Amino acid sequence: MLTKSSTELIRQQNRARILAALRRKNGQSHTELAIETGLASATVTAITQELENENVIERTVAAPAGGRGRPRILFKQRRSAAYAAFVRISSDVLQYSMVDYSGTLIYRIEEKRDNAGQKVDAFAADIRAALGRLAEKSRIPNHALKAISISSKGLVADDNRTLLWSSVLGSQQIDMHKTLEPDWQATITLSHESLLVASALHTSLSRKAGKPIPRLAALSLGHSIGLGVVHADGYESPRARAPGFGHMIHSHGGALCRCGSQGCIEAYAGSYAILRAAFRVPPNTLPAHFVPFVEIERIAVLARGGDRMAKTAFRDAGTAIGNGLARLISLHGKMPIVFTGPGVRFFDLMRPGIDEGLSASLGVQIEGPPEMSASPDEERLVFEGHLNHTMSAIDRDVIAPKILAQGGTA
């Protein structure tokens, strides 16, 4: 019995390795899969045959390399093998996306609205209704949806199902699993948005470098301030976290934050904080639920034109961020920092303050500042992060253990 169990576990792990290899690069030959996974040729043959029979992967014919010789047989994901839905919750928009097993976007719904003050029951009903419309428009039956991945820049509980605090609902908590489980048989997970962004950046930059990046942080600038950190020993074992960076204390008893605390980093670096500082509004003034970015752009024009208060507002935002990053480096070591979000367009105005805040750290004084860069397309990174986490989970938890129906689609 022990031998049989061990054999089944090894077989499941080998299936997962092949699925992970195809996830990294869809469309690989038998030889390429053997090299990529390190598995024996006979093992690759057996597993790819299994996955074909289960309608998880399919063969395609490609022209030979160099245009001469026999055509190449490539394995790729069968798009109809499984489906996943992504829900992105932000201050001003709810975005719903349906993707197939290959990661191709099928349909998307966006609801732009101000949810400030909305009751949690109404919010939950809206999400359930929107997911129903998404499945209907995508022509996907409920049983074919294998995963629902939800993201927010709010405070996410360790159970990856409960939203503890958000700019949309305030302190009203919502259990996403309990909310959606009655309508869907899918796996339901909730993640901090910056965790997904950091994961997507780590995957793309590691592939570009040709090796896993040991550590990387993604810092989102905007109405909220979010941070994702990834540690990795190899391609298949990255560990991503999203500490509550925006709500770390920058100044004890300082400016009022949207979360109700005083002195948070976000209370100095969020867009509402920049607006408050630029117009000399008392720092204990109740923050706005949402500030259109055109207002911050106007302040940026003033700052670049030499307006002292506008320049100070951005510099102070940068100082709060720099102090927070100095603490991050002290705890986790030096790592590349990638800035994302709509606020990166004002990075040049924040940079002097960021450098000043970082320079307060002894480690930075000795080793020098971290490598810093900007990636403005945060929406794409969130989508890619959803894909990385969700489709890998389907491969590992649904298909590798052979939970799919024998000989049929998901």
pTM metric for this prediction: 0.90
Six-digit token pair at 224? 């909220």
Q: Of 13-17, 40-44, 216-220, 238-242, which range is least confident? A: 238-242
Q: What residues contact 179, with CB distance under 8 A and at least 6 apart?
A: 124, 127, 128
Percent of the chain with pLDDT over 90: 78
Q: pLDDT category, 110, cuts 50, 70, 90?
A: very high
- Domains for the chain: give ranges and CATH numbers: 2-77 (1.10.10.10), 81-193+382-399 (3.30.420.40), 196-380 (3.30.420.40)
- The amino acid that residue 157 corresponds to is A
Report the run of H or E that residue 378 belongs to, with start and end: helix 378-394
Give the dihedral of Cα atoms 228, 204, 78, 394; nearest 10 deg: -20
Instruction: Give the mean model confidence (pLDDT) for residues 120-136.
Output: 95
pLDDT of residue 118: 79
Q: Specify whether the CB–CB gap between 33 and 27 falls below 8 A.
A: no
Write the CA distances from 128 to 268, 273, 382, integer angstroms. 35, 33, 21
Mean pLDDT, range 392-409, rounded to an integer: 74
pLDDT at residue 116 tops 70: no
Instruction: Give me the mean pLDDT over the 278-292 stretch.
Output: 89
The whole-chain average pLDDT of the chain stands at 91
Q: Which residues of 303-326 are buried (b: 16+ CB within 10 A; e: fewer)?
A: beeeeeebbebbbbbbbbbbbbbb
Q: What is the pLDDT of residue 238?
A: 83
17: pLDDT strictly greater than 60: yes
Q: State pLDDT tens for residues 144-190.
A: 999 999 999 999 999 999 999 988 888 899 999 999 999 999 999 99
Instruction: Please report, as a single letter, which amino acid is at residue 296.
Output: I
For residue 302, count CB atoms less than 10 angstroms from its CB and return exposed for 0-12, middle for 13-18, buried for 19 or more: middle
Instruction: Identify the pLDDT of residue 383.
Output: 97
Place of tokens 């560990």: 239
Res. 409: pLDDT tops 60 = no
> Average pLDDT, stretch 362-386?
94
Q: Which of 378, 392, 319 is nearest to 352 (CA)?
A: 319
pLDDT digit string, tens, across residues 183-209 = 999 999 999 999 999 999 999 999 888
**Alpha carbon 169 to its chain's center:** 21
Strands 105-112 and 93-100: antiparallel
CA–CA distance, 189 with 149 (Å, rounded to integer): 5
Distance CA 250, CA 34 (A): 51
The CA-atom distances, in angstroms, between 292 and each of 80, 91, 296, 342 are 40, 10, 7, 11
Given pLDDT bands bounded at 50, 70 and 90, which one contains residue 408? very low
**pLDDT (average), residues 38-64:** 93
Question: What pLDDT is attached to residue 99?
Answer: 98
